[in-house]
A and B are shown apart, each in its own frame.
Chain A
């Protein structure tokens, strides 16, 4: 029935066809943006690509410095590497690839990139610490944040609430990250005794 309607209405058919083409182009562009890389700096889920002409896939030896876990695939001449472990913000990474090509030649390729986090979490990682009312707040990595309490007799729940507010102000959901609360020696009350305190 739909086909009959479309047959009787060529204009609608052409419009639908155009919509389909636009949607297909849109999804293809989205997908290629997701997988494209090769730039010097990258963040988030982007991949790294290297040309490995005529590489025999089982001969690939990929080494990274510093070491990180990865998955890789070879499509034609292109080797795509996806990091699967958490990379360190503003760190330089080098990837070396040794492989044997179809002609039996031993070849090498290498590339490097600077890893940078995206979004507001990058601001937190770049700032040494933020001063809360009774604690210093800092990011260890994208998932781990530290509230370092420096004032004695501080309630942990109050610290947690304030630290969570700081996270929210950076657009981070406190429930999806780890918040560590540590107390300095003086805050714990077991610091060095005051040399000027009177001896009873």
Chain B
């Protein structure tokens, strides 16, 4: 038998080097990054963040405003819920169940009170969005064409803080779910009955506000952005699936979880794997689907993740069953 020893030698050395390096790197922990989360507070009810590092949370009837300067403001006896921050973090929106309030983040004072406001609302740097069960027929209310509105139906309204004009944007039925995302400047209107959704751009310089709508097949209820990629939560059979918009088409990403439990970094969406016995792994989902875990979270750890908000490109606040945690990825 004619054996080419030179080829076998090269192959053997190559294989041995690869396997030994693989084992060594694994042993030395060089293939994973170990990080420890920091407990910010226990008994946190809600958390929200803006696009430029301002975040807010409620804990034991106190509102904590974490400004991007590093300063923390505490407002005592704060019993409102449904927290939301505007794009720059200038305004905070919250509700007491009957009325909605717009609060200045710098002074912590209520700058606008909206009576008969149902469900959630969104603060914007230019105004605020709110639902109202009964139509507002006041002269300041205009419809999508700038005409006075006399509708008696449930509508989503936008009030411009500069001129105090309120526009009725769209009729909302009981099977609809509306969400607004400031990273993408998009509004999602999902219809459970029609098993379809509409994704629209937001332009607050115009009374119509909503423009350039894209029809989506499926119930899309939330949206997140990583670099130039738009990720969606699609609801099917009571489960939430992660997907991305790829040239107007929906591409499934291989994960079923609430998008609130995810966030984005380095161009990909990430979720925390809480199933491993002694660690919380970090899974990233990019355009090609699932990637292997690369970050392990060690030491005192969070579990039962409810929401992940971004403070900056590498720092995140994780609201979990056992408190609010800060994680630097």
B interface majority secondary structure: mixed
The yes or no answer to B271 lying at the interface (CB within 8 A) is yes
The yes or no answer to A72 lying at the interface (CB within 8 A) is yes
Contacts A7-B6, A17-B8, A71-B254 hold; do A143 and B301 have CB atoms under 8 A apart? yes
The yes or no answer to B9 lying at the interface (CB within 8 A) is yes
CA distance A61 to B20 in the complex (A): 41
CA distance A185 to B224 in the complex (A): 46
Segment with Cβ contacts to B, from A80-88, A123-131, A154-162, A191-199: A80-88
Given the complex, which residues of B lie within 8 Å of A176, measured CB to CB? 278, 298-301
Given the complex, which residues of A lie within 8 Å of B301, measured CB to CB? 143, 176
Q: Is B283 touching A71 in the complex (CB atoms < 8 A)?
A: yes
Given the complex, which residues of A lie within 8 Å of B251, measured CB to CB? 58
Q: Is A144 touching B275 in the complex (CB atoms < 8 A)?
A: no
A interface majority secondary structure: mixed
The yes or no answer to B28 lying at the interface (CB within 8 A) is no
Given the complex, which residues of A lie within 8 Å of B299, measured CB to CB? 175-176
Q: Is A72 touching B254 in the complex (CB atoms < 8 A)?
A: yes
Q: Is B274 touching A86 in the complex (CB atoms < 8 A)?
A: yes
Given the complex, which residues of B lie within 8 Å of A44, measured CB to CB? 275-277
By beta carbon, the residue of chain B nearest A62 is B256
CA distance A4 to B280 in the complex (A): 48
Q: Is B10 touching A3 in the complex (CB atoms < 8 A)?
A: yes
Q: Is A62 touching B289 in the complex (CB atoms < 8 A)?
A: no
CA distance A21 to B88 in the complex (A): 58
CA distance A80 to B16 in the complex (A): 31
Q: Is B274 touching A85 in the complex (CB atoms < 8 A)?
A: yes
Q: Is A144 touching B13 in the complex (CB atoms < 8 A)?
A: no
Q: Is A83 touching B256 in the complex (CB atoms < 8 A)?
A: no
Of residues 8 through 58 on chain A, the ones whose CB sits less than 8 Å from some CB of chain B are: 10, 13-14, 16-17, 19-21, 23-24, 27, 44-45, 57-58
Q: Is B255 touching A71 in the complex (CB atoms < 8 A)?
A: yes
Within the complex, the shortest CB–CB distance from B178 to chain A, in Å, comes to 24
Given the complex, which residues of A lie within 8 Å of B13, measured CB to CB? 2-3, 6, 16
Q: Is B300 touching A23 in the complex (CB atoms < 8 A)?
A: no
The yes or no answer to B19 lying at the interface (CB within 8 A) is yes
Within the complex, the shortest CB–CB distance from A4 to chain B, in Å, comes to 9
Which of A14, A16, A71, A85 gathers most chain B CB within 10 Å? A71
Given the complex, which residues of B lie within 8 Å of A86, measured CB to CB? 274-275, 303-304
The yes or no answer to A64 lying at the interface (CB within 8 A) is yes
Q: Is A175 touching B255 in the complex (CB atoms < 8 A)?
A: no
The yes or no answer to A73 lying at the interface (CB within 8 A) is yes
Given the complex, which residues of A lie within 8 Å of B8, measured CB to CB? 13-14, 17
Q: Is A45 touching B19 in the complex (CB atoms < 8 A)?
A: no
Which of A24, A61, A67, A83 gathers most chain B CB within 10 Å? A61
CA distance A173 to B279 in the complex (A): 12
Contact with A along B249-282 (1 / 0, CB 8 A): 0111011111001000000000111111110000
Contacts A84-B283, A86-B275, A176-B299 hold; do A57 and B252 have CB atoms under 8 A apart? yes
CA distance A84 to B270 in the complex (A): 12
Within the complex, the shortest CB–CB distance from B292 to chain A, in Å, comes to 11
The yes or no answer to B111 lying at the interface (CB within 8 A) is no
CA distance A84 to B274 in the complex (A): 5
Contacts A82-B275, A86-B303 hold; do A27 and B256 have CB atoms under 8 A apart? no
Q: Choose from B19, B237, B256, B298 the contact partner of A69 (Cβ within 8 Å).
A: B256
Q: Is B5 touching A143 in the complex (CB atoms < 8 A)?
A: no
Given the complex, which residues of A lie within 8 Å of B15, measured CB to CB? 17, 20-21, 23-24
Contacts A71-B283, A71-B290, A144-B303 hold; do A19 and B16 have CB atoms under 8 A apart? yes
Q: Is B257 touching A84 in the complex (CB atoms < 8 A)?
A: yes
The yes or no answer to B322 lying at the interface (CB within 8 A) is yes
26 inter-chain pairs at a CB distance below 8 angstroms, sorted by A residue, are A6-B12, A13-B5, A13-B9, A16-B13, A20-B12, A20-B19, A21-B15, A27-B19, A57-B254, A58-B252, A61-B236, A61-B237, A63-B236, A67-B239, A69-B256, A69-B257, A69-B258, A70-B255, A70-B257, A72-B255, A72-B256, A84-B257, A85-B257, A176-B298, A176-B300, A178-B303
Which 3 A-B pairs give the minimum distances between C-beta atoms? A20-B15, A69-B257, A6-B9
- On B, residues with C-beta under 8 Å from A are 5-6, 8-13, 15-16, 19-20, 22-23, 236-239, 241, 250-252, 254-258, 261, 271-278, 283, 289-290, 298-301, 303-304, 322
